Amino acid sequence: MNKELIVSSNRHETMAAILEDDQVAEIHIEREHQRGVAGNIYKGRVNKVLPGMQSAFVDIGLERDAFLYVSDVVDTIEEFERLESGDGDDSPADGGEANGDAARPRGNGRSRSPQRSAQRPTQQIEDLLKAGQEILVQVVKEPLGTKGARVTSHASIPGRFLVFMPTADNIGVSRKIDSREERSRLRGIVRQFRDEHGFTGGIIIRTAAARRPKEDIEGDLRYFHELWSEMRGNMESLRAPAVIHHEESLVAKLIRDFLNDDFSAIRIDDRDEHARVLRLVERIMPGMVERVRHYAKEFPIFEEYGVQAEIDKAIRSKVWLKSGGYIVINQTEALVAIDVNTGRYVGKRSGGLEDTIVKTNLEAAKEIVRQVRLRDLGGIIVADFIDMDDRKNRQKVAQAFERELRRDRAPSKTIQVSDFGLIILTRKRVRKSLERQLTDPCPYCSGSAVIKSSSTICYDLLSEVRKIGPELNGHAVQLRVNPDIARVLEQEQRGVLRDLERVLGRGVTVQPDVRLHHEQFDVMAT
């Protein structure tokens, strides 16, 4: 698969698009005044401990307190105290295999026998944390809606080849590195550096480290060693709540985590950003420096490569399929609902209804996964495919959906509900979806996407006049309404206006007012 990274950057925002075979697959946005907090490490203060929920609220200096589960605290308090005091045994525990790049050991990383773990009593949040206590936490999930950030005490800082975990003390190796000799070589490099520099903390060796020279691995280790020394100094000097470590910029994160030989080009329109990326790529993957290119045209880079058109489509609910069918995507507070329709596609003369439905569903399965990635949808996602009679066809669509989902880096699980033609997907949500980042709720309809019909407002007006009529004391009445309602009262709903006059026993003056919302009206005695 051919990939490209397209970066549009200015003083106000940076946007990056990942193209897969010339099709936009992912969009990432970072705005100067709305920089995300996921990955940041804070010195926080516990505000409230909730034994009933086995969790705590931690003040990290944001608008809302962060949420900390007991599972994200267990076994880390003792380790934090040991690291902060600078004493304790810093020799690594051998073993502790990492289950892939994203894996990280829970607790302090020391290996325990199953018998010992089973005998250990379950720890309660009230025994681990107290209100007013200071604690080091890392944001793992951005604040979303009315919810505060989700944090953990199991901090981890990724590099290009390694992941550093201050609260662990073992060395793990990605299981994707299957050579015993290579695993041993990489562990040896890390052990030697730790012994020579008195470097505490756990290390996971990422897949990208395979067959890399010793200098590259030690480069990450030196960076972590200096960073942790700086963070410990900040922990001692700064008062909670305070930021101890800022996550890297958007483009640096993308290159650090995703850059590989599949990328044929990295195109950047900002000269300063281009220079920064050149330096970064030269350090971590010098063989790809020539693929970093500066886009110098005046014409916007996102327009040039068709990215802007995809962004504009991604904030609409309806997505057309090439066959003429379409899918409708609706985000709600509880879940994302996706509906599949045949639309203008009526199939071929040689095929039957089932063939038409299967073709539409297969095309929709591919597009749904692309839209999920493009829009960065998370939580519970329910895809309602068109009903199919043949069980084999239902299985065929489910397999196509699963196959496309393998391209997605975000952790997810799927469940097929065969009898109803549904596929339910749960996808990890770390930050706001693309729509939530680029749009605001409509101020006119308060985000509901509907307003009362003109007829409904006319009937509401009649009901209101009946309620307050006796209080008007025989005065003349003026109705101040939105111009659209004034027109309806004088035309389609003229009967309502006559009923108003009959209820009041006198004539009614209708006064259009463009300043009034469609649903607003005033009944005034004159």
Check whether 229 has a pLDDT greater than 80: yes
List, by residue range, all CATH 2.40.50.140 domains of the chain. Answer: 41-246
Residue-averaged pLDDT of the chain: 85
Check whether 490 has a pLDDT greater than 80: yes
CB of 425 closer than 8 Å to CB of 329? no
CA distance 44 to 106: 20
pLDDT of residue 105: 35
Residues contacting residue 424 through CB under 8 Å, at least 6 positions apart? 380, 381, 382, 383, 414, 415, 416, 417
**Nearest alpha carbon to residue 378 among 416, 454, 433:** 433
Question: Of the CATH numbers 3.40.190.10, 3.90.1200.10, 3.40.1260.20, 3.40.50.1820, which one belongs to the domain with range 454-525?
Answer: 3.40.1260.20
Topology annotation, domain 3-33+251-308: Nucleotidyltransferase; domain 5 (3.30.420)
Q: 3-class SS at 70?
A: helix
Structure tokens at 506: 């006198």
Question: What digits encode the pLDDT tens for the residues 63-80?
Answer: 999 999 998 887 544 433
CA distance 437 to 431: 9
What is the H or E stretch that residue 30 is in? Answer: strand 23-31
Structure tokens at 25: 């697959």
pLDDT of residue 123: 83
CATH annotation of 41-246: 2.40.50.140
Residues contacting residue 494 through CB under 8 Å, at least 6 positions apart? none
Residue count (the chain)? 526
Query: Which has the minimum average pLDDT: 47-56, 372-381, 414-423?
Result: 414-423
CB of 56 closer than 8 Å to CB of 77? no
CA distance 476 to 507: 7
Question: What digits encode the pLDDT tens for the residues 186-201?
Answer: 999 999 999 999 888 8
Q: Which runs of E-coded beta strand occur in 295-342?
A: 318-320, 326-331, 336-341
Question: What digits encode the pLDDT tens for the residues 386-397?
Answer: 988 888 988 999
155-157-161-167 Cα dihedral, nearest 10 degrees? -30
**Helix orientation angle between 483-490 and 494-504, rounded to the nearest 10 degrees:** 90
pTM strictly above 0.95: no
Tokens 């829970």, located at residue: 106
CA distance 333 to 329: 13
CA distance 263 to 18: 9
List, by residue range, all CATH 3.40.1260.20 domains of the chain. Answer: 454-525
Burial of 242 by CB count in 10 Å (0-12 exposed, 13-18 middle, 19+ buried)?
Answer: middle
Question: What digits encode the pLDDT tens for the residues 467-483?
Answer: 887 787 767 888 999 99
